[in-house]
């Protein structure tokens, strides 16, 4: 069986593909797996590091403005895309894959389109509650479409062979919360808030937490991943203590999640999948500049069901956000209700289910 995964640009598009690829190799040793992406996205370094072959194209996303400069830039984007599709057609003819899998985003578009033109079975896996342009357009001719949120189907014109399989996400070893808190040097008996915003951080969240630290200290613990941009200023302003751990990055996210009673974070698709798989009460602050505002839709899909609280980025510094954090940390019953609602959205077996579907398509 030979499979090419197309996706990247960001970790949110790449890591679900990696999770499916690893599950395929686990279930079907000897599977020939490779990836297609760009030379500039996260896939350029991560895919070779993980031991997979990477086929590269020159492809970029469209500018969304309407100025003459935007139109000119988009003309170049279209020319690059046409070249990428030609290269993708040549790649498929050379490699002869049984299945092409696309994980959304402009990076996956050339290979998915080439597969559809050549009659190769192809599967689209969409992570976000609001499907991106690539998924909405190419789903019409895909062999199968797999969604992470049940409501996402209403945005697609295509209805047949559309499945809700979840978003393949990292799995974590859950440990006892007290032991996990001791790992971070925190009081094992206090409720714990986990704050993170990606490897670079989320400045609006960091600025809000700066104002809350002293009020929360003593009543709760905080595990605060600041990201690389704000670490220096935050670590110079606050000293680690029995109630406060500060770091630019968390290597042991399994321990961090195990420690946490409440999570304050962005609403990227991979993060949402991790939270729902673990059933973690969360206050989600969507990144306002995400393409198509997809993080807002991800957070809204959970908040509508009582599985999370949604605070818009512009409101994170307000009193409501602080009251929500304090209220959840103080109310074990509210946390348990939210955790139960959150687990209903979890799909911890997503990678396995999708690997099975890919193998089925390959054997047809």
pLDDT tens per residue, range 313-350: 999 998 899 999 999 999 999 999 999 999 999 999 99
Which residues on adjacent β-strands are paired with residue 193? 222, 262
pTM: 0.86
Ramachandran class of 3: left when φ > 0, alpha when ψ lies in -120 to 50, beta otherwise: beta
Say what the alpha-carbon torsion angle 105, 111, 112, 116 is, to the nearest 10 degrees.
Answer: 160
Q: Which helix (H) or strand (E) holds 263?
A: strand 262-265
Q: Which helix (H) or strand (E) holds 5?
A: strand 2-6
The mean pLDDT of the chain is: 91
* DSSP alpha helix (H) spans, 164-306: 177-183, 203-216, 231-237, 253-259, 269-278, 294-303
Pairing of strands 121-125, 99-102: parallel
HSE-up (13 A, CA, CB side) for residue 42: 13
Say what the alpha-carbon torsion angle 217, 223, 225, 230 is, to the nearest 10 degrees.
Answer: 10
Write down the pLDDT at residue 78.
63
pLDDT tens per residue, range 242-290: 999 999 999 899 999 999 999 999 999 999 999 999 999 999 999 998 8
Per-residue DSSP letter, 290: S
């Amino acid at each position: 069986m030979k499979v090419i995964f197309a996706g990247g640009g960001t970790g949110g598009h790449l890591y679900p593909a990696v999770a499916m690829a690893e599950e395929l190799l686990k279930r079907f040793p000897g599977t020939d797996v490779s990836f297609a992406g760009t030379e500039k996205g996260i896939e350029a370094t991560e895919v070779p590091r993980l031991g997979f072959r990477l086929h590269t194209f020159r492809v970029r996303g469209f500018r969304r403005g309407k100025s003459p400069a935007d139109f000119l830039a988009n003309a170049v984007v279209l020319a690059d895309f046409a070249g990428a599709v030609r290269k993708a057609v040549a790649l498929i003819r050379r490699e002869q894959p049984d299945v092409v899998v696309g994980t959304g985003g402009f990076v996956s578009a050339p290979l998915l389109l080439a597969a559809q033109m050549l009659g190769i079975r192809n599967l689209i896996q969409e992570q976000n509650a609001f499907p991106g342009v690539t998924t909405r357009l190419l789903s019409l001719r895909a062999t199968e479409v797999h969604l992470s949120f049940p409501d996402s189907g209403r945005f697609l014109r295509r209805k047949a062979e559309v499945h809700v399989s979840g978003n393949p996400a990292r799995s974590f070893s859950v440990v006892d919360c007290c032991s996990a808190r001791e790992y971070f040097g925190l009081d094992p008996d206090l409720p714990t808030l986990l704050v993170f915003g990606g490897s670079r951080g989320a400045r609006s969240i960091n600025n809000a937490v700066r104002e809350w630290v002293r009020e929360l200290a003593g009543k709760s613990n905080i595990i605060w991943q600041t990201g690389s941009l704000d670490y220096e200023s935050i670590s110079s302003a606050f000293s680690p203590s029995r109630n406060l751990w500060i770091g630019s990055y968390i290597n042991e996210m399994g321990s961090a999640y195990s420690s946490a009673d409440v999570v304050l974070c962005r609403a990227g698709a991979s993060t949402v999948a991790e939270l729902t798989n673990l059933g973690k009460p969360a206050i989600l602050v969507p990144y306002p500049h995400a393409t198509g505002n997809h993080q807002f839709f991800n957070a809204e899909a959970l908040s509508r069901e009582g599985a999370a609280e949604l605070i818009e980025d512009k409101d994170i510094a307000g009193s409501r956000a602080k009251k929500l954090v304090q209220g959840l940390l103080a109310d074990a019953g509210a946390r348990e209700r939210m955790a139960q609602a959150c687990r209903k959205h979890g799909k911890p077996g997503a990678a396995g289910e999708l690997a099975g579907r890919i193998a089925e398509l390959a054997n047809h």
